[in-house]
C-alpha cells in the first residue's frame, strides 16, 4: 500500500440531557445517560490519508498544524483503526470546520465522528454505524452521538450511541449565542475529572440524570417542547451547579451567559417558547420553535455581550464525501 484516502463530514451535537463524568476513564465510558440533537449548522469535514511515506501521524485543523494533546488524541484513535485493519501505516489528517475554530465552540464531537468514519473507510474496514460510534466515543464521548442524525442517546456505560428519533418528530431551531471568542480555559475532560473528584454535588447530579434523560426522551416522542425545554434547562444548570461546587469552583459562564439566560426567561414570560442549554463554555444554546426562530435570534443578537448568533436545524449523521 502506498496511499489510501477517504473523506467524511459530521455535524456537531448539543446535549439536552447532559453527561458530565466517567464510569471508566480508561475506556472512556460515561457515568450517566445523555441525549442530544445533531445540528446542521456546525459541520466538520475531515480527510484521512494513510501514506507509507509518513514516519508519524500528522494533523491539521483549518490549515494549522496540530501538536501536543490534540494530536495525541487523534493518534490514539488512528492507532485503534490500524489495529483493526492490521496495518502500521501512518496517516495525514486534514480537517476543516465551517464555524470559526477559535470561537470556543465544541468541535470535538463533529471532529472525532468525522475522523472515525474517514479513517476506518480509508482502510476499507466497512464498520457499522454502531462500530463507528464506539470508535468515536473512545476519543470523545460526545462524538459517539454525532455519528447519528436527529435525536440521539448515549446510555450510561454504553460503547455506542443509538438514534432515538428523527429531527422531524419535534422540530426545533437551535440558536447558538456566541458570547466570547478564543478557546476555553479548561477542557471538558479536565473539567469533569476535577468535578467528579472534588464536588460534593457531583453524586446528586449522577443520581438525578437518568430521570431527566427519561423525561427528555418522553418529551421528544410526545412532541412536547415545553417538557423537553424544562428538562434541558434543569440538566444544564445541575451540571454547572456541580462544577460551581468543585474545589476550586469551575465557572464556564461569562457575564453575557447570564444575560442570555435572563433574556430567554423574559421571552417565555411574554409567551414565546424558548429554552436554554449551556455546555462547558460560556455560549448559550437556545431551543425555539422554527416559526419563532427569527424573532428569538433578533432578541438574542441584541443582548449585551452576544457577538453573533448561529442558527441551526436538526442535522444528518456522519457521511462519507468524495
Closest approach of Cβ 290 to ligand PMV, in Å?
23
Q: What's the first-to-final CA gap in the chain, in angstroms?
A: 20
Using the minimum distance from each CB to ligand PMV, give the nearer residue, 20 or 275: 20
Closest approach of Cβ 174 to ligand PMV, in Å?
14
Are the CB atoms for 23 and 59 separated by under 8 Å?
Answer: no
* 3-state SS, residue 153: strand
DSSP label at 25? T
Residue choice 172, 220, 280, 286 for contact with ligand PMV (CB under 6 A): 280
Q: How far is CA 304 from CA 180, 260, 275, in A?
A: 12, 9, 19
DSSP label at 98? S
Residues 172-191: x/- map of binding to ligand PMV (CB under 6 A)?
Answer: ----------------xx--
Residues 107-126: x/- map of binding to ligand PMV (CB under 6 A)?
Answer: -xx-----------------
Residue among 77, 165, 2, 79 at smallest CA distance from 95: 77
Using the minimum distance from each CB to ligand PMV, give the nearer residue, 49 or 95: 95
Residue among 127, 145, 155, 119 at smallest CA distance from 8: 119
Residue choice 149, 279, 283, 314 for contact with ligand PMV (CB under 6 A): 279
Check binding of 233 to ligand PMV (CB under 6 A). Answer: no
**Whats the size of the chain, residue-wise?**
322
Residues 188-217: x/- map of binding to ligand PMV (CB under 6 A)?
Answer: xx----------------------------
What residues contact 271, with CB distance under 8 A and at least 6 apart? none
Q: Rule CB under 6 A: which residues touch ligand PMV?
A: 15, 18-20, 34, 106, 108-109, 140-142, 188-189, 279-280
Amino acid at each position: 500500500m502506498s496511499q489510501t484516502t477517504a473523506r467524511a463530514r459530521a455535524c456537531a451535537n448539543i446535549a439536552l440531557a447532559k453527561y458530565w463524568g466517567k464510569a471508566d476513564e480508561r475506556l472512556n465510558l460515561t457515568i450517566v445517560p445523555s441525549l442530544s440533537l445533531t445540528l446542521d449548522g456546525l459541520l466538520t469535514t475531515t480527510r484521512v490519508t494513510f501514506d507509507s511515506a509518513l514516519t508519524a501521524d500528522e494533523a491539521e485543523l483549518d490549515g494549522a498544524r496540530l501538536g501536543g494533546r490534540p494530536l495525541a488524541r487523534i493518534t490514539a484513535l488512528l492507532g485503534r483503526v490500524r489495529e483493526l485493519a492490521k496495518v502500521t501505516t501512518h496517516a495525514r489528517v486534514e480537517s476543516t470546520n465551517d464555524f470559526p475554530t477559535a470561537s470556543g465552540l465544541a468541535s470535538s464531537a463533529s471532529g472525532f465522528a468525522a475522523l472515525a468514519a474517514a479513517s476506518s473507510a480509508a482502510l476499507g474496514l466497512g464498520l457499522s454505524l454502531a462500530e463507528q460510534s464506539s470508535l468515536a466515543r473512545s476519543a470523545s464521548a460526545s462524538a459517539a452521538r454525532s455519528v447519528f442524525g436527529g435525536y440521539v442517546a448515549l446510555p450510561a456505560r454504553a460503547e455506542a450511541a443509538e438514534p432515538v428519533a428523527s429531527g422531524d418528530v419535534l422540530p426545533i431551531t437551535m440558536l447558538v449565542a456566541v458570547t466570547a471568542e478564543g478557546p476555553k480555559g479548561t477542557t471538558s475532560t479536565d473539567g469533569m475529572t476535577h468535578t467528579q473528584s472534588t464536588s460534593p454535588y457531583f453524586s446528586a447530579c449522577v443520581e438525578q440524570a437518568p430521570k431527566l434523560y427519561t423525561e427528555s426522551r418522553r418529551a421528544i416522542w410526545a412532541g412536547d417542547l415545553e417538557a423537553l425545554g424544562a428538562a434541558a434547562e434543569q440538566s444544564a444548570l445541575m451540571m454547572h451547579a456541580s462544577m460551581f461546587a468543585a474545589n476550586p469552583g469551575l465557572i464556564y459562564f461569562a457575564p453575557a451567559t447570564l444575560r442570555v439566560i435572563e433574556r430567554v426567561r423574559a421571552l417565555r414570560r411574554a409567551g414565546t417558547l424558548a429554552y436554554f442549554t449551556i455546555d462547558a463554555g460560556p455560549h448559550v444554546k437556545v431551543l425555539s420553535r422554527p416559526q419563532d426562530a427569527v424573532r428569538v435570534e433578533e432578541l438574542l443578537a441584541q443582548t449585551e455581550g452576544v457577538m453573533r448568533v448561529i442558527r441551526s436545524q436538526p442535522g444528518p449523521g456522519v457521511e462519507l464525501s468524495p
